[in-house]
Structure 1
């Protein structure tokens, strides 16, 4: 990602593009296209017989929960949707102050 005009908000906590939108929200903003690029970061990983679960989540979950805590909680649920809902609920209970998105993929039960 290339940022030509990266400024912080008044509190200094959130980087903003051209002093307007937070970086992650600026990717889709037509008026800010000249200030950044959004090339995807693609990684390939082999999934073997030991891989049972994948958790894709936003920082609202990861700021309050370790990888191990999230995996241990998600493994308690056979239904991946139920696991994702519980992970989100747990992040809220741990007083996450950020947006929380969560997807759980089960490769085997």
Structure 2
């Protein structure tokens, strides 16, 4: 069984997120199938992300998009991110982040940017590249491409029976709601119930973020993992 899921959070307009939503899945799956016998899933996913970025930059399009994706294939889960969208898995109700946000405040990201001749500074409490962008990886961002790379980080795990729920969401959620809180709210509405209500769970998470003052775009996706274990 195979499945692909993604959250794409655009900045500088919607064009980049729309482009990624239309193209990334095909590019990743093409690379995974091509390299099935020869290469790792991590490398195949990376090529899919870079191919999508290259195609976007060839067009007359502006802006950029953070991404988090989940590829389920043959009982394995490959989670990838470029930017500050995040994937959190529930292991029997215990939350674990499978991705690490790409922000200029991350020491290794700041070092990479400065090594490439860029700078990172603190603007009104937020670390930004060249005084501009608050994420350090993503697809697009033509004017900052030297520093804002599209290369994802990928983690691959075997889906076990205790893995019951995967949450993919943009930073509009994670800036206001902790990983464990998100699992605590979503899981009862999705796991172990004859009447699962994943849409209600998504709405509860978004509403909580808004009630805590989030003004950011917030996208949330819930994936029940029991059918893939």
Same fold, TM-score > 0.5, yes or no: yes
- Which TM-score tier does this pair reach, normalised by the shorter chain? 0.7 to 0.9
Aligned residues: 108
Give the strand-richer structure, 1 or 2.
Answer: 2
Of 133, 141, 150, the residue aligned with 1:38 is 150
2:207 matched to 1:89? yes
CA distance in 2, matches of 1:103, 1:6: 34
Of 120, 128, 152, the residue aligned with 1:15 is 128
The match for 2:198 is: 80
The match for 1:48 is: 160
CA distance in 2, matches of 1:108, 1:35: 39
What's the TM-score once normalised by structure 1's chain length? 0.74
What's the TM-score once normalised by structure 2's chain length? 0.40
Query: Could you list the runs of 5+ residues in structure 1 that have no partner in the other structure?
Result: none
Asked whether the equivalents of residues 26 and 32 of structure 1 are also in contact (C-alpha less than 8 Å), the reply is no
CA distance in 2, matches of 1:45, 1:12: 35
Structure 1 residues 27 and 15: alpha-carbon distance in aligned structure 2, compared to 1, 3 A threshold: farther
Superimposed CA distance per residue, residues 29-76 of structure 1 (whole angstroms, 9 cap, x where no aligned partner): 222222342311000012111111111123332233232221121023
Superimposed CA distance per residue, residues 63-92 of structure 1 (whole angstroms, 9 cap, x where no aligned partner): 332322211210232132332122111111
CA distance in 1, matches of 2:153, 2:138: 17
Query: Could you list the runs of 5+ residues in structure 2 that have no partner in the other structure?
Result: 1-108, 190-195
Calculate the aligned-residue CA RMSD, in Å. Answer: 2.7
The match for 1:104 is: 222
CA distance in 1, matches of 2:134, 2:214: 19
* Bigger relative CO (Cα 8 Å, ≥ 6 apart): 1
